[in-house]
């Protein structure tokens, strides 16, 4: 009764780590697939070193490509592997193309599918992730939700309530397990930062792909850097367009390569504010109590606004909003979303083990 985990892109790794650990504690037979969607050391291997993830049992080396080509390559490689291994369950994470492809393969081969981080909705179909989330959830047999809004969305879409489990957030399990290693002082020293600073991460196609958007974004970042030092660990996706738009021209905007998980969250922990379009970073800043300014028109993670430290801002608003945050300091009134307590992995493991057992006894 094999459980097969499918990962491939940076945000998958901190979500999978606690689930794999908890399943291992209850003695479930499992193997880990890395599709190779992300492959640079700084986008992938560093997470395996830092998060105690086992070495992947299968490395499919699929790599980059357009959505169609990448998804096609993922489908081909994953189908072969599923046929060979005949898993009882496939477990997929989040909303990346590796998630979508594994969900399709599982559904077509009749392999039961569990989706970790089900039910998040931005209601913005221009986001590739929204398409991936909708299809994956529609195909899933077991849906693990991180927040009550996600449970409600799935209910509204007609998903059988018996399949939906509110379990908390495994990415937060990973954050809490590593909290004592997030060293803000070490981050300051490493990056030679004095005084206030803002951490930025930007990689959404809607912000960086188009050259007009990239130019407008760079102009905005430069006006923020006029007020405060910015450090930007830059995702490979935005590098070419943002650099072409003049990103590197401001002396107080420091661009660095993507950072390891522990180094990145050390830097975030000590920041006066974070400017981001990442999904996971909205959640992590909520836990760390660091003001998060999300450069997007929407979020699929509304609890980070209702409970946490997140707010949506436009490019036009950003410089003034940063000035306001620097003047007022950190909020003191935020709360932790329900069940973001570090126990999502064990909750998921128990439910999956029960599913495996009831399937075995039905045979
Ligand atoms: C993907 C996810 C996105 C997620 C992000 C997290 C999809 C559709 N998108 O976006 O939801 O927020 O990962 O980081 O799955 N590249 C490298 N090195 C790498 C990986 C990628 O240089 O290790 C470059 C390549 O030029 C590639 C580009 O980044 O074409 C985009 O990579 P891809 O995985 O297609 O999408 P992301 O933008 O990373
Ligand atoms: N992250 C990291 N180093 C960085 C930027 C992000 O370790 O330089 C981590 C971040 O803390 C979070 C995950 O990567 O755990 C989020 O991934 P990303 O923003 O790429 O994807 P998204 O969440 O937007 O899908």
Which residue CA neighbors atom 14 of ligand 2 most closely?
11
103 domain residue, yes or no: yes
d(CA 120, CA 129): 10
The predicted model gives 200-217 an average pLDDT of 96
Q: Are residues 105 and 245 in the same domain?
A: no
Mutational test site, ligand 1, from 59, 237, 241, max ligand atoms within 8 Å of CB:
237
What ligand has the least distance to the C-alpha of 49?
2
The predicted model gives 175-184 an average pLDDT of 98
174 domain residue, yes or no: no
Q: Are residues 76 and 102 in the same domain?
A: yes
333 domain residue, yes or no: no
What ligand has the least distance to the C-alpha of 199?
2
Q: Are residues 18 and 111 in the same domain?
A: yes
Which residue CA neighbors atom 12 of ligand 2 most closely?
280
pLDDT at 362 over 90: no
CA nearest to 143, candidates 356, 348, 299:
348
- For residues 95 and 133, is the Cβ–Cβ distance under 8 A? yes
58 domain residue, yes or no: yes
pLDDT at 332 over 80: no
* Residue 231 φ/ψ, nearest 5 degrees: -120, 125
- pLDDT by residue (tens digit) across 267-318? 999 999 999 999 999 999 999 999 999 999 999 999 999 999 999 999 999 9
Put residue 293 in one of left, alpha, beta given phi > 0 → left and psi -120 to 50 → alpha.
beta
Q: Are residues 290 and 357 in the same domain?
A: no
Least confident interval from 40-44, 141-145, 246-250, 332-336: 332-336
Distance 363 CA to ligand 2 centre (A): 41
114 domain residue, yes or no: yes
Q: Does residue 8's CB lie within 6 angstroms of at least one atom of ligand 2?
A: no
- For residues 82 and 101, is the Cβ–Cβ distance under 8 A? no
- pLDDT by residue (tens digit) across 16-74? 999 999 999 999 999 999 999 999 999 999 999 999 999 999 999 999 999 999 999 99
Distance 38 CA to ligand 1 centre (A): 6
pLDDT at 330 over 90: no
Strand order in the sheet with 30-34: 58-59, 30-34, 3-7, 89-93, 112-118, 142-145, 164-166
Distance 281 CA to ligand 2 centre (A): 6
Kindly report the number of other CB atoms within 10 A of residue 70's CB atom: 20
- Cα 20–Cα 111–Cα 10 angle in degrees, nearest 5: 40
Residues constituting the chain: 363
What ligand has the least distance to the C-alpha of 68?
1
Percentage above 90 pLDDT, the chain? 97
- pLDDT by residue (tens digit) across 223-273? 999 999 999 999 999 999 999 999 999 999 999 999 999 999 999 999 999
Q: Are residues 353 and 214 in the same domain?
A: no
Distance 347 CA to ligand 1 centre (A): 30
**E strand map for the chain:** 3-7, 30-34, 58-59, 89-93, 112-118, 142-145, 164-166, 197-201, 229-233, 253-256, 273-276, 292-294, 310-312
Q: Are residues 122 and 194 in the same domain?
A: no
Q: Does residue 281's CB lie within 6 angstroms of at least one atom of ligand 2?
A: yes
Query: Is 115 an annotated catalytic residue?
Result: no
Q: Ligand 1 — pocket residues by CB below 6 A?
A: 9-11, 37-40, 43, 64, 70, 95-97, 128-129, 203, 235-237
CB within 8 Å of 45: residues ≥ 6 apart? none
What ligand has the least distance to the C-alpha of 13?
2
The secondary structure of 290-312 as a DSSP string is --EEE-SS--S-THHHHTSSEEE
Q: Are residues 201 and 101 in the same domain?
A: no
CATH of residue 204's domain is 3.40.50.2000
Distance 318 CA to ligand 1 centre (A): 25
Q: Using CA of residue 97, residue 40, residue 285, residue 206, what is the dihedral sign? A: negative
Please give the torsion angle defined by the CA atoms of residues 349, 358, 29 and 102, in that order, rounded to the nearest 10 degrees.
Answer: -80
d(CA 206, CA 344): 31
28 domain residue, yes or no: yes
150 confidence band (pLDDT: 50, 70, 90): very high
Which residue CA neighbors atom 2 of ligand 2 most closely?
261
Q: What is the pTM of this model?
A: 0.98
How many domains does the chain contain in total?
2
d(CA 89, CA 4): 6
Helix (H, G, I), strand (E, B) or coil at 289: coil
Put residue 88 in one of left, alpha, beta given phi > 0 → left and psi -120 to 50 → alpha.
alpha
From 67, 203, 235, 307, the catalytic residue = 203
Distance 28 CA to ligand 1 centre (A): 31
CB within 8 Å of 354: residues ≥ 6 apart? none
Q: Are residues 161 and 194 in the same domain?
A: no
ipTM of the prediction greater than 0.85, yes or no = yes
pLDDT of residue 331: 77
Give the domain extent around 138: 3-168+343-362
Which residue CA neighbors atom 1 of ligand 1 most closely?
96
């Amino acid at each position: 009764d094999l459980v097969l985990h499918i990962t491939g892109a940076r945000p998958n790794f901190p979500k999978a780590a606690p689930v794999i650990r908890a399943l291992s504690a209850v003695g479930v037979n499992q193997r880990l697939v890395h599709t190779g969607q992300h492959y640079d050391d700084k986008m992938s291997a560093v997470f395996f070193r830092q998060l105690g993830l086992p070495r992947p049992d299968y490395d499919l080396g699929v790599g980059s490509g357009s959505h169609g080509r990448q998804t096609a390559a993922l489908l081909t490689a994953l189908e072969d592997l599923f046929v060979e291994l005949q898993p009882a369950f496939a477990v997929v994470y989040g909303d990346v193309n590796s998630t979508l492809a594994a969900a399709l393969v599982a559904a077509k081969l009749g392999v039961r599918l569990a989706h970790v981080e089900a039910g998040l909705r931005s209601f913005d179909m221009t986001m590739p992730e929204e398409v991936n989330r909708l299809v994956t959830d529609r195909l899933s047999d077991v849906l693990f939700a991180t927040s009550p809004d996600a449970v409600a969305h799935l209910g509204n879409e007609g998903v059988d309530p018996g399949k939906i489990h509110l379990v908390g957030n495994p990415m937060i399990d990973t954050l809490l397990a590593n909290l004592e290693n997030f060293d803000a002082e070490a981050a300051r020293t490493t990056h030679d930062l004095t005084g206030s600073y803002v951490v930025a991460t930007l990689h959404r196609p809607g912000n960086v792909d188009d050259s007009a958007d990239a130019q407008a974004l760079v102009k905005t970042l430069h006006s923020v850097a006029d007020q405060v030092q910015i450090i930007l660990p830059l995702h490979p996706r935005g590098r070419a367009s943002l650099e072409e738009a003049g990103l590197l021209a401001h002396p107080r905007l420091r661009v660095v390569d993507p950072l390891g998980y522990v180094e990145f969250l050390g830097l975030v922990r000590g920041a006066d504010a974070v400017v981001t379009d990442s999904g996971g970073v909205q959640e992590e800043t909520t836990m760390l109590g660091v003001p998060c300014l999300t450069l997007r028109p929407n979020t699929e993670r509304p609890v980070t606004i209702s409970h946490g430290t997140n707010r949506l801002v436009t490019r036009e608003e950003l410089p003034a909003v940063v000035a306001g945050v620097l003047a007022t300091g950190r909020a003191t009134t935020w709360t932790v979303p329900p069940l973001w307590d570090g126990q999502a992995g064990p909750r998921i493991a128990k439910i999956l083990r029960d599913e495996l057992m009831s399937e075995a006894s039905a045979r």
